[in-house]
Every structure is written in C-alpha cells, then in structure tokens.
Amino acid sequence: MKKEVIIFGGGMGAIQAIEAIELMSRADPDFCTIIGLADDDPQRKGTKIAGYEVIGSLLEASQRPNTFFAWGLGNPTNPRLRLIISERLGIPDARFIAIIHPSVVVSRTARIDPGATVYANATIAPGAHIGCHSGVGIGSVVEHDCVLEAGSLLASGVLLAGHVTIAAGTFVGQGANIKGDVKIGAGCMVGMGAVVLNDVEDRDVVVGNPARVIKKMPAL
C-alpha cells in the first residue's frame, strides 16, 4: 500500500518538494501519494499550490493517523527549523519520508535518513551520511565519508570535500567550498561562496575567501 504524504510548507520549497516526489513516484509507482499540504498561515488553508490543497496547519496535519510527512520548508536564518517543528509536534523521524530527486547520484554505501531532502543533480559519494531533516540543494556535492548531522542545510552548488562534518542545525550558503577533514560546528552559518579551510566553532558566522568569523549566532 502506498504511503499517504502531507508536505509541510506552502511556499516555493513546497513546490520543489512536490515536483521531486512526483518524479520519484513515476519511477516507483508504489512510492507514495501526496494528499495535501500543511501550512501555519491560515490564509493559505483551502488554497491550492501546484495542484494540491493546503488542508490546514502543521499541528492539524500531524494528528492524522497513518500519514507520512515530507519537508517543503527550510529557513537559512534558522536552519534548526525542521528540528524544532518535528520536536514540537512530537512526530517520530520514521514518519518522514526522504526526498531524493531521481537525478541525484547516490553511492550504494551512502546513507540518507528519514526527513532528508536531496535535490536535483546533487552527488552523495561513498560513505557519506545525510542525517534526519537535513537538506542538500541543487547541484551540491557531498564527497566521501562526509556527515551532515540532523537539520543541517546545504544551499545549491555547495562542495564538501572528503571527511567533512557539518554539525546539527548549520546552514551552508550557495557555492561555498569546504576543505577536506574540516568540521563545521552546530548552529553555524557559512556565507555564500565562502572557502572554509579550518574548523569552525559552534554558532560562528563565517564569510569570505578564506573564511573568517564575523559574529556569533544567538544561543539557542
């Protein structure tokens, strides 16, 4: 029996999720069926986005039994948003599906956890681990043995060399390059186009080439 899925979010991220899931379902007709979207903006309730109805709030959707969920939202200024929502609603990770666009190249030794989103033309190399509720943007490369911890987000065109760790709730901006064996701490922000050559401490905001710290993110 196909899984019935509600997508969280009602903006452009939801459209991106819808299109990827539709393509996944064409490749595997038994994958899932999208039954609607959930969004906390009451003005969106009853409207349609890319042909699917916004059926109510995230809380209302979470209370539906036997339903699965997918992420159609993410916030670069608060990359922990997916973690916060899933914890607040008390939804087990196993009730989230992973979105893996059919054009993604995934090694057979890589691991992609529930709730992850991996979009078009990304590459997930051998031994890489994409954690729960994390995201890999269009065309990004996650090289061998990298780890994206829960809730971390890579924008489009990011390059992680081998053995990089991105800790929980960190955002890496478009086109950034991270040197091999570097660890980026939890709750960090890496600016667009940054070239990171050294480890980054928790909550640091880094920009430039080579990357430098410009401030700290607020404590959680």
- Catalytic residue at 144? yes
Residues 17/7, Cβ–Cβ less than 8 Å: yes
Q: How distant is the alpha carbon of residue 140 from its chain centre?
A: 12
DSSP state, residue 216: E
In a 10 Å sphere around its CB, with 0-12 CB exposed, 13-18 middle and 19+ buried, how is residue 120 labelled? middle
| Two structure tokens written together for 140 | 């990004």
Q: Which amino acid is at 91?
A: I
| Two structure tokens written together for 69 | 């969920």
Q: Which amino acid is at 166?
A: I
Residues 107/125, Cβ–Cβ less than 8 Å: yes
Q: How far apart are CA 7 and CA 1, in angstroms?
A: 19
The catalytic position among 101, 129, 133, 144 is 144
| Active site residues per annotation | 144
